[in-house]
Chains A and B, each alone.
Chain A
């Protein structure tokens, strides 16, 4: 019998308030995410999805509650430590791709490895492999302006995963894509998360996109409730 998967992320009674005279944006949601798990978080605009992402990434601090990444309390880290945590263990995919236009595709994908000071030879090999994995083999020397929206998002996914992060955070990754390309990107995301033995959180408004995840959670500010379990 397999040992139960380790928890990658634990969110405990998270509270975040921006103004003392207003109700908190997040008021106590909790979540546990295990290795290999890929969940989708849905919710209406303004319920705190972005705030939750900021807190998970260590870009903001909770007013109460804890975020434990592996055995690290993210909320207790200073800016540098949180940055190094992101650098080593997290990957991000954004709706607007955020591929640097003045770098080639390969250079864009190599950025996390450069930050981790991976040796050039290994870096090159891993970038090549990652580009192959997202279906962009041979596109390394090309510039972002030569690529379509779907291809750009693949570059972003490759960049998010090239350093094999423990946690992938994807914020509306298909918001700018047509349905067919969106489907391909979501499949790719799920496969890559599983392949890397990490965990993933997909923030989306799209039910279709959310249904590619293992679990769907709905955030209403106070809690994260299961909407349905996708049978996969």
Chain B
């Protein structure tokens, strides 16, 4: 077939069905747009993240870090600087500094300007203003973002919190926005140590090695002289670690966006199937006129390909524009809360754009392949004969491929994650989904064969029509089953997570009032005397203090959190939400004296620690082996947490400070009064989070729901596209059956009886689709809950089914499908009924 003839026929076909063509094109465009926008936003934010890390590390070959941000003794710095092979060593005190009266800390780097200047030459270039003021105790340079956020200008002052006391810092000047777009402050290291309460301590030393010194070999030598827990890390690992925190969330979001694209592909399948069905006589005529089978197949496939290419092009452009808008409006945070960056810009990514264009085109073409093949393989004589109005889809009727895919999917679900990404989990979902869809014709035929006759002509005729048109039913159901089953799976996963989260919150918040001193900061804490003052407040029956310290166990992985908590009666390890405990036999003779530690599931998954193991932790340069007594569930920290006795931690680290507290009130004490009393004892209480436990629960759930907003939105789009599939199938089916309706009207079937027949058909097929979707979705949810969730976030979730929610959505879907079928029928009967019986059909 010549390109000209193909274009003529394709355009004629599109002109004939402009709305359907447009909606199918838009469905592909929406799928590609969502997938590419999520990708572009994430990559824009990640680029900014990586850039920020690079700027902070500069040209260092190795970064020496303390096991926690508490750091190590500054005497390590001259020792390292004197090592052969070290050209320059730059000491750094990197702290998240609590801001008085404000939530969220400010990152401040204490540096030796002259040393840092050698490793980060950009730094000197970017310091404009009172450079020599840097040597004053309270002088700080701020990035523009930080200054704007704090509402200060050069020469102005702002308050930071050290312990619970406020200290004032003076803004010396601004770092350029181009070089340091993040919120950041830079101080002289001695000033930082003095002002921020870290005298004699460092937590980072940047090393530039002499030419000819191999970093890897040097790192190995260095490891032997570093204090316990202190590690030498390559800058690339530093950057990757910052990015890896959000990887699972990003990948999951990308996958979810691809669901819409996948549903779009089924819509193409549905549209093309019905389109070739409607054109069967014309296509048969072309075959009769001399078009070869291969030519016809190519021509029809090319139609889908062109539709996919146009939709993908539109989608990539819209995705790019959407991503730029999102980055401007909300930074890089698509709900996870971990990728919020300021000033992230969208760099052109031609390769990624090309990849999304190709994915969209290929996926849409895949949807057009089966109908093209089906149409081409149909003998022209058969297609020309009246009454041949059923897509054969014969190849799709066997159960073996479907069952094989289900088996493959089930097997893939048992494979481990690859690089922290549940690759096999996603493949399992895809295999189960496609396997499930391939079984639709057989399952539908079996169910319909068993449906009893009702004796009511409208219902019985509808049933007979469905039994005789399994191919059309399948085509109509494919898109909705795909989108609905994925939606069901996602709904079950999110609901299970939420239910588990609510239960977990109830367990971890047993006290009446919760206090967090400057969350996420290194400088906000309660000194022991302040703790005593709080504990002895009237109306307070009992207090549990906790010290949360980030601890770097593996440079390639984000830091875990050590939670040193008071093991007082009623809030000891027995209240931890334990999922596993060490077997009694695991305690070895001689180990009885080992202090106990409880690890979160993430530590178990990421580091391979198991209950019963004896593992070493380092605090302030002192090593201590702990017996792992159990594994607890922790939805607060996906990167891992270890609970130890605070007394033991204080003994090892010399750090008796606390960052959190739980208060049990004496009977009769009002929470508000207690909170006021506690606040009065905290001079810097503005940055402290002091809430009743019920409020903490509410806030936590609000954050949880916000994090899943994007998920719900993407799901809704997928289901919307799926419903379009149903609508298309219904309207195509109704149009194809105009002659039948007309004949039935001639025979004396009332208009409402015909519509009732169509509604019944729509009801029955959508009921099958919904039930099948629920079943398949339930199966997929097992993979989401037990495989993808666990491998992505390293925490377990107990399966819970949102019965009411699913019932409501199912009901709405069935109703929508029945309504769509009826409306399509009404539209099909709106013309001259008699004329329809005169058409050859």
On A, residues with C-beta under 8 Å from B are 50, 53-54, 57, 59-60, 79-80, 83-84, 86-88, 90, 92, 94-103, 107, 111-112, 114-116, 120, 144-145, 159, 171
Q: Does B464 have its Cβ within 8 Å of any Cβ on chain A?
A: yes
CB distance from B740 to the nearest CB of A (A): 6
Give the residue of A96, A102, A111 whose beta carbon is less than 8 angstroms from that of B838.
A96
Listed residue (B742, B744, B838) with the most chain A CB atoms within 10 angstroms of its CB: B838
Q: In the bound complex, what is the Cα–Cα distance between A54 and B745 (angstroms)?
A: 12
**Residue among B389, B457, B745, B748 having the largest count of chain A Cβ atoms under 10 Å:** B748
* Closest chain B residue, CB of each to CB of A55: B834
- In angstroms, how far is the closest chain A Cβ from the Cβ of B75? 89
Chosen A-B contacts, 14 in total, with CB atoms closer than 8 Å, are A54-B832, A59-B745, A88-B748, A90-B746, A92-B747, A94-B838, A96-B386, A98-B740, A101-B390, A102-B464, A102-B468, A112-B748, A115-B748, A159-B747
- Report B457-499 CB contacts with A as 1/0, cut-off 8 Å: 1001100110111000000000000000000000000000000
Q: A54 vs B460: C-alpha distance in the bound complex, in angstroms?
A: 28
Partner of A57, one of B387, B457, B834: B834
Q: Does any Cβ of A come within 8 Å of B786's Cβ?
A: no
- Complex partner residue of B747 from A96, A102, A111, CB under 8 angstroms: A111
In angstroms, Cα B455 to Cα A107, docked, is 12
Which residues of chain B (737-758) have a CB below 8 Å from chain A? Answer: 739-740, 742-751
CA distance A116 to B748 in the complex (A): 9
Q: In the complex, which of the residues B457, B465, B742, B746 has the most CB atoms of chain A within 10 Å of its own CB atom? A: B746
Contact A96 B841 (CB under 8 A): yes
* Residues on the A chain within 8 Å of B464, using CB: 100, 102-103, 107
* Whole-angstrom distance between the Cβ of B440 and the nearest chain A Cβ: 19
Chain A residues with CB under 8 Å of B746's CB are: 57, 59, 86, 90, 92
Determine whether B835 belongs to the interface, using a CB cutoff of 8 Å to chain A.
yes
List the A residue with the shortest CB-CB distance to B386.
A96
- Most chain-A CB neighbours within 10 Å: which of B455, B832, B837? B837
How far in angstroms is the closest Cβ of chain B from A56?
Answer: 10
Residues from chain B with Cβ under 8 Å of A88 in the complex: 748
B410 to chain A, nearest CB (A): 36
Give the CA-CA distance A92 to B838 in the complex, in Å: 12
- Cβ–Cβ < 8 Å partners of B624 in chain A: none
Q: Type the 1/0 row for B705-748, where 1 means its CB is closer than 8 Å to any CB of A.
A: 00000000000000000000000000000000001101111111
Q: Nearest chain-B residue to A97 (Cβ)?
A: B386
Instruction: Decide yes or no whether B16 CB sits under 8 A from chain A.
Output: no
Q: Smallest CB-CB separation from A120: which chain B residue?
A: B455
A88 and B748 alpha carbons, distance in the complex (Å): 8
The answer to whether A115 and B832 have CB atoms under 8 Å apart is no
Is B834's CB under 8 angstroms from A98's CB?
no
With both beta carbons as reference points, the residue of chain A lying nearest to B466 in the complex is identified as A102
Taken together as a complex, chains A and B put the C-alpha atoms of A50 and B833 apart, in Å, by: 11
Other A-B contacts than A83-B750, A94-B743, A96-B840, 8 sampled, CB-CB below 8 A, are A59-B745, A80-B751, A84-B750, A90-B748, A96-B739, A100-B464, A107-B464, A115-B748
Given contacts A86-B748, A114-B457, contact A98 B837 (CB under 8 A): yes
Number of A-B contacts (CB under 8 A): 95
Whether the pair A87, B747 counts as a contact (CB closer than 8 A) is: yes
B839 in the interface, Cβ–Cβ < 8 Å? yes
B837 touching A96, Cβ below 8 Å = yes
Q: Nearest Cβ in chain A — how far from B473, in angstroms?
A: 12
CA distance A116 to B750 in the complex (A): 12
Q: Give the shortest distance, in Å, between B269 (CB) and chain A (any CB).
A: 23
Known: A102-B468, A115-B457. A50 touches B747 (CB 8 A): no
Q: Are A83 and B838 in contact (CB under 8 A)?
A: no
> Which B residues form the contact surface with A (CB < 8 A)?
386-387, 389-390, 455, 457, 460-461, 464-465, 467-469, 739-740, 742-751, 832-835, 837-841
**In the assembled complex, how far is the CB of residue A121 from the closest CB belonging to chain B, in whole angstroms?**
13
Report which of B387, B390, B748, B834 forms a contact with A50, defined as CB distance below 8 A. B834
Contact status of A171 and B838, CB under 8 A, knowing A94-B743, A102-B464: yes
Q: A101-B387, A101-B468, A107-B464 are in contact. Are A115 and B749 (CB under 8 A)?
A: yes
Tell me the nearest residue of chain B to A116, going by C-beta: B748
- Which residues on A sit within 8 Å (CB–CB) of B469? 102
Task: Report, nearest first, the 5 A-B pairs whose CB atoms are least far apart.
Answer: A87-B748, A102-B468, A98-B743, A114-B457, A92-B746
Asked if B749 and A50 sit within 8 Å, CB to CB, the answer is no
**Chain B proximity of A126: nearest CB distance (Å):** 15
Residues from chain B with a CB closer than 8 A to the CB of A111 are: 457, 461, 744, 747
Bound-complex Cα distance A90 to B749 (A): 12
A96 and chain B: residue at smallest CB distance: B840
How far apart sit A156 and B48, CA to CA, in the bound complex (Å)? 74
Verify A112–B837 contact, CB threshold 8 A.
Answer: no
**Given the complex of chains A and B, what is the CA–CA distance between A159 and B749 in angstroms?**
14
Closest Cβ of chain A to B449, distance in Å, is: 13
Give the residues in chain B near A83, CB-CB below 8 Å.
Answer: 745, 748-751
> In chain B, what residue has the closest Cβ to A113?
B457
Min CB–CB distance B282 → chain A (angstroms): 17
CB distance from A78 to the nearest CB of B (A): 11
A100 closest partner in B (C-beta): B740
From residue A152, how far is it (CB to closest CB) to chain B in Å?
9
> Which A residues are in CB contact (< 8 Å) with B835?
50
A49 to B457, CA, bound (A): 31
By a CB distance below 8 angstroms, the chain A residues around B840 are 96
Contact indicator B387/A144 (Cβ below 8 Å): yes
Contacts of A144 in B (CB 8 A): 387
Point out the residues of chain B lying under 8 angstroms from A98, CB to CB.
739-740, 742-743, 837, 841
Known contacts A87-B748, A96-B840; A53/B834 CB under 8 A? yes
Cβ contacts under 8 Å, B739 to chain A? 96, 98
By a CB distance below 8 angstroms, the chain A residues around B838 are 50, 94-96, 171
Closest residue of B by beta carbon distance from A104: B464
Q: Tell me the nearest residue of chain B to A84, going by C-beta.
A: B748
Distance, CA A126 to CA B749, complexed state (A): 20
| Chain A residues, Cβ within 8 Å of B834 | 50, 53-54, 57, 59-60
Q: Nearest Cβ in chain B — how far from A62, in angstroms?
A: 15
Contacts of B390 in A (CB 8 A): 101
Q: Return the chain A residue nearest B743 by Cβ.
A: A98
A53 and B468 CA atoms in complex are apart in Å by: 31
In angstroms, Cα B834 to Cα A171, docked, is 11
Chain A positions within 8 Å of B751 at CB level: 79-80, 83
How far does the alpha carbon of A83 sit from the alpha carbon of B753 in the complex, in Å? Answer: 11
A96:B457 contact, CB within 8 angstroms: no
Q: Return chain B residues, CB-CB under 8 Å to A99.
A: 387
CA distance A39 to B751 in the complex (A): 30
| CB of B464 to closest CB in A, whole Å | 5
B467 touches A112 (CB 8 A): no
Identify the closest chain A residue to B748 (Cβ): A87
Measured CB to CB, the closest approach of chain A to B277, in angstroms, equals 14
Residue numbers in A under 8 Å from B386 (CB-CB):
96-97
**Closest residue of A by beta carbon distance from B739:** A98
Assuming A57-B834, A96-B840, is B747 touching A112 (CB within 8 A)?
A: yes
Question: Which chain B positions have C-beta within 8 A of A103?
Answer: 461, 464, 468
How far, in angstroms, from A87 to B835 measured CA to CA in the complex?
19
Q: Beyond A96-B840, A96-B841, is A86–B387 a contact (Cβ under 8 Å)?
A: no
Q: How far is the CA of A50 from the CA of B834 in the complex (A)?
A: 8
- Distance A183 CA – B714 CA, assembled complex (angstroms): 64
CA of A54 to CA of B743 in the docked complex: distance in angstroms?
13
* CB of B448 to closest CB in A, whole Å: 11
CA distance A171 to B464 in the complex (A): 27
Q: How far is the CA of A87 from the CA of B745 in the complex (A)?
A: 9
Pairwise interchain contact A102-B467, C-beta atoms closer than 8 A: yes
User: Closest B-chain residue to A143, C-beta based?
Assistant: B468
Chain A residue at minimal CB-CB distance from B457: A114
Docked pose: A145 CA to B751 CA in angstroms: 28
CA distance A59 to B745 in the complex (A): 9
Q: How many angstroms from the CA of A88 to the CA of B740 in the assembled complex?
A: 19
